[in-house]
Amino acid sequence: MKIRKIRPEESDLVRKILGDAFADDPIMRYTLPNIEYYGKYFEDIFLKQFCKYGLSIITENLNAIALWLPPKVKLQIPSLPFLLGWGYHFYRDRNGLSDMLLVNRIITSWEKAKPTVDHYYLLAVGVLENDKGKGIGSKLIKESLNIYDAEEKAAYLENTNIKNIPFYENLGFKLVGDYQFAENSPKTYFMFRDGKSYS
């Protein structure tokens, strides 16, 4: 399986692949009331921040993507046009301001949970629905982890689906904490991988 860097002009593939891959994600379904915003979020944040670092990768068959940030780079919020559109739908379709504040609590909790050691950050990895279960996602992540291990750098992610914990554990990540932002909300699972253990 061939893997390459994804180019800025291919942002539509980010929207298509990750929008499809995260269609059943518990946190996405809770925080983004309109499913069309799933892919839009990833495309927006890719263009605003991720594409400039050149770490995000895609399979040659255009069926899987992983979005990475380098050490010491903080995840930015989406662009203002996206936030305005998302905020409108959220306010209209959900419980307005109170639920929007819950989303802010999620972001704050994620930031506080991040490890203090230098680490590469995996925001998202996704495979098109028809190609899931073929090992594509793990091969995509390993492509980057091999490089980070050679640098003896750690890797970190927020796993938003409990079903994916074994998947990441098989790649060397360990569960280091979790967070539930409301009584009936899904949890986020914080996962860390010490690159020095694999160098």
* pTM of the full structure: 0.90
Selection from 146, 152, 131 nearest residue 194 by Cα: 152
- State the chain's maximal CA–CA distance in angstroms: 50
Pull the structure tokens for residue 8: 């800025």
Per-residue pLDDT at 100: 59
Which residues, including other chains, have CB under 8 Å from residue 72's CB and lie 6 or more apart? Answer: 118
Domains and CATH numbers, the chain: 3-197 (3.40.630.30)
Condensed to tens digits (0 to 9), the pLDDT of residues 76-98 reads 877 777 666 666 666 666 555 55
